[in-house]
Structure formats: structure tokens, C-alpha cells
Amino acid sequence: MWRLTLTAALAIVGLWAVSQLTVATWLAQQATQREADWAQGISPWQWDFSDPASIVHGGSHGIDNARHFSGELWLSAPDDGVVNLSLPLRGGHIDARAVQHAQLEIASAASGRILLLLAQPAGPQQWSEVHISTGVQRLQLALATLPDAVPAAGLQLRIETTPGAHLRLRSLGLFTTPCESLETCPEYSRSAPPFATPESLLRYRDAQQALAPALTIRAGGHTGRTGQWLATHLPSSSSLLLRLASALLLVLVANALWRRLKPSPHDSPRRAGWELAATLGPAIALLLSGWPSRDTPVEVDVTLLLCLLALMLLPAPGPRRWHWRGDRAAWKAAIGFTCLALVPLLLLAWLDPSDTGSRTPGRYLRYPLWATLQQWLLIAAIAPRLRVLLPDARHCALACGLIFSLLHAPNFALMLFTLAGGTAWALLGQRHRALWPLIVSHTLLGLALVLLAPPWLLRSAEIGGRYLMVP
């Protein structure tokens, strides 16, 4: 028993190290890129109108007939001749004191006026105004100095022109005076003090950037230095590499289909280990490389989909004795574990009722379906292969929990919860061979976690590069 406890403790330390180093490396990569941009006068606030996510539809006007075509946003001015585009900051803010001019690429069929409006506590404040003529133009907009401006949580692009006039928008960016070198831009970079968890580090970064949005924050201490070294020496994932991984996984999917048509009776540890590595290895590698991010390339989606598809199609070793409904003992065990796991979550919610305001139940309506897929993969695909490698049921369950937690990297709090939950579900699955009781337990505990856990414990339920986003 003490060996199993020691293994679990080492697994937790390993997950903590993976999470800390991954976050530190990502922050170092982001800081290096942003510092290089600042040195060229390029701010982080850029909008490409070929992307539908470049506009917040809820706060915009005059875009009922808008469409994205040929790398541009095509629209027609409504009856009042006013087009008002609300531009997303994605949880961040704009520092009006850090930029001096804007650049807008636009084509207009009529003359008019363009305004940039900055969101301020007293209401939208005019930041820039320029008159436009007909034709394709690249406009330079001088930004007014706003000494009393606070970091703005919103920006609006307002176009006033002739009703029915056709407009084409390509891009908008905020710029500043270029630095002579990176060393002359020290005000844009800062190292954070050492923190025990990545949640604390990211919370510090969010607080600092809310006050000074132009800042880039790096991790501090030994973790920050190691992350900087990794950011410098690790190769970045390329589109070609992702396409190659997808091609190899497609071959694996074809092999899985062939094996289902001609099942092989040989279930060796080597085959089980190879199948786990070939399907889950690329998925975990993508998570640690920063995917999925806010703008995930289609190659990543295809690779992740093929990972799951191959794992689902490959025949699991051993007889398929599991079933869906489960007997009374299976439900009793699953309900008992669920109630036991809910106690600390309810206690934490009672001790710290604060909430970020972003965890609404509507966001998780699709979670039961996702929990069903995860539980099926854990019990029917991963656990049987690990049982071939680890005959002891307890060691096999802990290995299942560890793999399950790595699939939630680098969210450290979420990795801890999924390590405990995945281990318990794997143990119950091996004992009772029933899926529905575990699916219900997974769904209830997953929803309870994101709705009850305080912000300092669970920053967000995001994984991969999306974990760095402001909750």
C-alpha cells in the first residue's frame, strides 16, 4: 500500500512540474514575441476582419448582411448609414497611453467619417476621427491623448456614410513608436515573483495586465529561467508536422478498421503500449505545445479527432465484458464515490463563495455528452490496454488516472481532480464493468467542480493554450 501511496505522491509532483514548466514556457514565448512586436511599434491589439471572431455581434450595429469573403469583411451601410463594429478584446484591456496611431485598411463606395470610440467608465470616449473618400485606402488615424483614460475593456469602430454604401474592411491595428532595440522597451516587460501554483501565477499576470495592459509577464525564479530556456530551445509545432501526424494517424485508423474486420487473438503488452503511445501521445504533445489555443488551426482539429477515432476503433484487448446499465452494486458504488467527492467541493464553496461570473450553467449543457465520450475512452479503450501492461488492478487504475489527468494539461487544479476521479472511475469500472453509473458520476462531479470550485483553486476549466486566457 505504501508503494502505491508513494507512486501517487510522485505522480502529483510530476503533474505540478509539468504544469509549472508548461505555463512558464508559454509565458516566455508570448513575452518574447510581444517584446519583439513592441520594438517594431506593433501593439498586441490587432484585428483581422477575415476572421468572424474579429467582431462582437452583440455590441455591433449594421452587420445584418455582413459576410466574410476573400480575406475581407463585406457589408452595406443600413438605412441610417451607420455601421458600428464592437471589437473583441477577449478578456483583456487596451492601454490608450501605450499607442499613438491606428492603421485601417478599408474600401468604401462612398465618402464618410470614421470614429474610434474607447470604452470608459463614463461612457464611450472619442479616440480618433478621420474622413474617408471612395476607393481602397490604408488610413493612418492619429489617436488623441487621453490623460485620464483608464485601461479600456472595449473598442468600437464607427463608420458613418451614405445608406446602402458598400464597405470592405481588411484589418485594423494600433501602433506606437518603434524602439531602437528590445533593451529600450523595459516598461513593456516584467518578471513575476515565484508562485507555488500556475493558477497563482496567471492570476497575478491578469491583475497586472488589467492595470497596465501593455505589460508582458514572465514567470519568475528557477521555474521562469527554466521556462525561458525551454522556450528558446524547443522547436515550435509547424503546419507540416501536424499534417504528417494526421497522415500517420489516418494510417492507424485504417489499420484499426482492418483489425476489426479480421480480429487478432494476440494481445501482447508491446501492442497495448504501442497503441496507447500512438493515439494518446500526439494528443498530449499537442496540449503541451499550446493547442488548442484561441485560433486553433484545422490541422490540430484533424489530428486530435484522428487520435480519438483511432483509439475508439482499435479493438480493445481481452473479452468485452463491460455493459452500459450496470447492476445495483455498480450504481451504489458510483453514487457513494460521487457523494464522498462532493463533500470537499461543497465545503470549499461554503468557505469561499466568490465567483468569477463566467461559469454559467448554460456553458456546460453539452458536458454530459463530453463526459460520456471521456468515460467510454477511459473504461473501454484505455483501461483494458493498461491492464495488459499492469495486471494489478490498483496500479492499473492509478495509471488510468495519470493518463486521464495528462489529457487535461496544463490546468494543474483540473489535473489533480481528474487524477483522483480517473483513478476511482477506473477502479470501479474494472470491478463492476458498467458505464452508465460512471458517466452519471463523471457528469455530476464535473459540473459541480466548475460551478462550485472557488477561483483561486480552479482558474478555469480550459485546457491546452486556452488555459492562459483570462477567465
Q: Examine residue 347 and state whether it is found in any structural domain, yes or no.
A: yes
One domain, residues 296 and 373:
yes
Q: Examine residue 37 and state whether it is found in any structural domain, yes or no.
A: no
Q: Examine residue 33 and state whether it is found in any structural domain, yes or no.
A: no
Residue 194 CA, distance from chain mean position: 23
* Mean pLDDT, residues 451-467: 87
| Conformation bin of residue 160: beta by default, left when phi > 0, alpha when psi is -120 to 50 | beta
What CA–CA distances, in Å, run from 146 to 88, 158, 209, 367, 466?
21, 19, 19, 45, 33
One domain, residues 448 and 390:
yes
Of residues 134, 142, 141, the one with CA closest to residue 168:
134
Residue 249 pLDDT more than 70?
A: yes
238 Cβ contact list (under 8 Å, min separation 6): none
One domain, residues 245 and 281:
yes
Residue 198: pLDDT band with limits 50, 70, 90: very high
Q: Report the CATH number at residue 123.
A: 2.60.120.430
Q: How many C-beta neighbours within 10 Å does residue 135 have? A: 10
One domain, residues 266 and 169:
no
Q: Examine residue 219 and state whether it is found in any structural domain, yes or no.
A: no
Residue 182 pLDDT more than 60?
A: no
One domain, residues 11 and 137:
no
One domain, residues 358 and 289:
yes
Residue 375: pLDDT band with limits 50, 70, 90: very high
pLDDT score, position 168? 96
Give me the phi and psi of 158, to 5 degrees please.
-110, 125
Cell of 70: 476573400
pLDDT score, position 290? 86
Q: How many C-beta neighbours within 10 Å does residue 351 have? A: 8
Q: Where are the alpha helices (DSSP H) in 59-121?
A: none
What CA–CA distances, in Å, run from 264 to 256, 276, 317, 380?
11, 17, 10, 18
Pairing of strands 72-76, 166-175: antiparallel
Residue 212 pLDDT more than 80?
A: yes
One domain, residues 282 and 158:
no
One domain, residues 245 and 140:
no
For residue 348, how many C-alpha atoms fall within 13 Å in the half-sphere facing its CB? Answer: 17
What CA–CA distances, in Å, run from 121 to 23, 116, 151, 448?
33, 16, 10, 35
Q: Examine residue 198 and state whether it is found in any structural domain, yes or no.
A: no
Q: Examine residue 126 and state whether it is found in any structural domain, yes or no.
A: yes
One domain, residues 20 and 82:
no
Residue 302: pLDDT band with limits 50, 70, 90: confident
* Mean pLDDT, residues 91-116: 93
**Segment 439-453, tens digit of pLDDT:** 999 999 999 998 888
The C-alpha atoms of residue 447 and residue 453 are separated, in whole angstroms, by 10
The lowest-confidence range among 209-223, 224-238, 259-273, 350-364 is 350-364
The C-alpha atoms of residue 45 and residue 214 are separated, in whole angstroms, by 10
Please tell me the pTM assigned to this model. Answer: 0.91
Domain count across the chain: 2
- Range of the structural domain that residue 145 is part of: 43-175
DSSP-derived 3-state class of residue 211:
helix
Q: Examine residue 222 and state whether it is found in any structural domain, yes or no.
A: no
Residue 322 pLDDT more than 80?
A: no
161 Cβ contact list (under 8 Å, min separation 6): 77, 81, 83, 108, 110, 111, 112, 113, 132, 167
Q: Going along 22-119, which residue ranges are E strands?
A: 42-48, 67-69, 72-76, 82-87, 101-108, 112-118
pLDDT score, position 320? 67
One domain, residues 84 and 13:
no
Residue 357 pLDDT more than 70?
A: no
Of residues 138, 72, 70, the one with CA closest to residue 105:
138
Q: 472595449: which residue's cell?
A: 154
Instruction: Give 61's DSSP letter.
Output: B
* Mean pLDDT, residues 178-200: 81
Residue 134 pLDDT more than 90?
A: yes
pLDDT score, position 352? 79
Of 175, 194, 213, the one marking the end of a domain is: 175
Of residues 205, 210, 169, the one with CA closest to residue 190:
205
pLDDT score, position 234? 84
pLDDT score, position 229? 95
User: CA-based angle 57:46:114, to the nearest 5?
Assistant: 65
Of 159, 175, 191, the one marking the end of a domain is: 175
Residue 141 CA, distance from chain mean position: 33
One domain, residues 313 and 346:
yes
Of residues 446, 440, 439, the one with CA closest to residue 420:
446
Q: Examine residue 116 and state whether it is found in any structural domain, yes or no.
A: yes
One domain, residues 13 and 64:
no
